[in-house]
Amino acid sequence: MTHAKLFRRIAVIVLGLALTAGGYAQQAHPTSKAAAKPVAKNVAPAFKPGLEPHAVDILKQACARLAAAHSMSFTAVVSYESPSRLGLPLVYSTRSEVTMQRPDKLKVVTLGDGPPSDFYYDGKTMTAYAPVEKLVAVADAPPTIDAALQAAFVSGAIYFPFSDVIVADPYKDIADGLTTAFYIGQSNVVAGTTTDMVAYVTNGVFIQIWIGAEDKLPRRIYAIYLNDRAQLRHVLELSNWQLDIAVPADAFTAADASGAARIAFARPDATDAPGMKPPPKVLHQKTQ
């Protein structure tokens, strides 16, 4: 049998099947002039920005847990996007080991995609140390962690993405510019535990946060600055939490910096500090 004859036979079979199916369909569904009733669609109501009480309660519980701790240590891993020469973002990361004791002690040891750095604050002075270059900068500091963080940024462009975790009143920093907050649901993936997910907007930043359902400690913070046209993303992972720990008295002094060359505690002119940008509120305070 030629290919042409075979093709014609297949075409006839297909046509016959189509006619048979059409006839069956007509018998099963006789023609009716009555119009079918439209199926009602369940349309979800439009989202209205506001503050959901459940979401706000979760934020308050986490902030209260942090504020109540006299001392704490944790690991903070920051991943932040930065435009490449192609225009698409690259991702850089830093890892900080943080130790804090209220009201006036802080140590931050940072490794990252760049030179390592150490920061020490003992209630009287703040010290920035570059261990590879063997350079150290020392300046007088105010008597509280909150004020020292502000002074470090204003005078030395030093900013820590996790600063909202260690201030005296974490919820106040959120609430001052809070316009939207809603509960997303629970996750069993982040940090190997069950977390409550909340999204909120404060001070021009959209934030999604994962908070431990049992211990109320933040595990992940995802942020996008609303005025950033590139919508670059910043992610902060928090782990190895220890609260109300005993901290050695010498933990907040830069012992390794004793032989380092002294430099001025001053802002670099070329660029701001790497990592997640400071919130608009801090930028506003900087210009006053």
- Between 278 and 55, whose confidence is greater? 55
Quick check: is 60 in a domain? Answer: yes
The band of 44, judged by pLDDT with boundaries at 50, 70 and 90, is: low
**pLDDT, averaged across the chain:** 85
**Cβ–Cβ under 8 Å, residues 145 and 106:** yes
Quick check: is 5 in a domain? Answer: no
Quick check: is 45 in a domain? Answer: no
Quick check: is 166 in a domain? Answer: yes
3-state secondary structure of 127: strand
Instruction: Give the chain's domain count.
Output: 1
3-state secondary structure of 11: helix
Quick check: is 190 in a domain? Answer: no
Identify the pLDDT of residue 47: 72
Q: What token pair was written down for 203?
A: 């001070």
Residue 196 has pLDDT above 90, yes or no: yes
CATH number of the domain bearing residue 87: 2.50.20
The tens digit of pLDDT for each residue in 90-142 reads: 999 999 999 999 999 999 999 988 889 999 999 999 999 999 999 999 999 99
Model pTM score: 0.78
Gap between the Cα atoms of 5 and 25, Å rounded: 30
**Cβ–Cβ under 8 Å, residues 102 and 70:** yes
Identify the pLDDT of residue 21: 43
Gap between the Cα atoms of 277 and 226, Å rounded: 12
Q: What token pair was written down for 220?
A: 């992940």
Gap between the Cα atoms of 34 and 249, Å rounded: 87
Quick check: is 20 in a domain? Answer: no
Gap between the Cα atoms of 267 and 4, Å rounded: 83
The residue whose two tokens read 């535990």 is 193
Torsion, Cα of 117, 121, 148, 167 (10° steps): 90
Backbone angles phi, psi at 173, to 5 degrees: -65, -35
The parent domain of residue 160 ranges over 53-181+241-283
CA 170 to chain centre: 15
CA 89 to chain centre: 17
Quick check: is 92 in a domain? Answer: yes
Quick check: is 16 in a domain? Answer: no
Beta-strand ranges (E) seen in the chain are 71-83, 89-101, 105-112, 114-121, 125-130, 135-140, 178-187, 195-202, 205-212, 218-225, 233-243, 261-263
Residue 16 has pLDDT above 50, yes or no: no
Checking 35-44 for CB contacts under 8 A at 24+ apart, the result is none
